[in-house]
Amino acid sequence: MNLFLTLNCLYPNEISQQKLSVLILQHQPKGILIHDFEIAAIGMANGVNKIATFNKEDFELITEIEVIRPI
């Protein structure tokens, strides 16, 4: 089975930009962490409430999503 045939790509949109603005105002990330906040905002705008990442600490400030470390 080709994994890429089962995945959906998510893109920034107006809703994700609004969510990103709120996240930045609430948590005030600095530097490169803003990109992780954008990833979270795009997911949230598309109904994603969990993110799997090896960089769990980069998402710890974002309480609006659950962060899972893959095995």
Predicted local distance difference test score (pLDDT) of residue 6: 82
Query: d(Cα 41, Cα 34) in Å, to the nearest integer?
Result: 10
Per-residue pLDDT tens digits for 13-67: 999 999 999 999 999 999 999 999 999 999 999 999 999 999 999 999 999 999 9
pTM passes above 0.85: yes
What are 51-63's pLDDT values in tens digits? 999 999 999 999 9
Q: What is the rounded CA–CA span in Å between residue 62 and residue 22? A: 11
Nearest to 20 by CA among 48, 39, 47, 3: 39
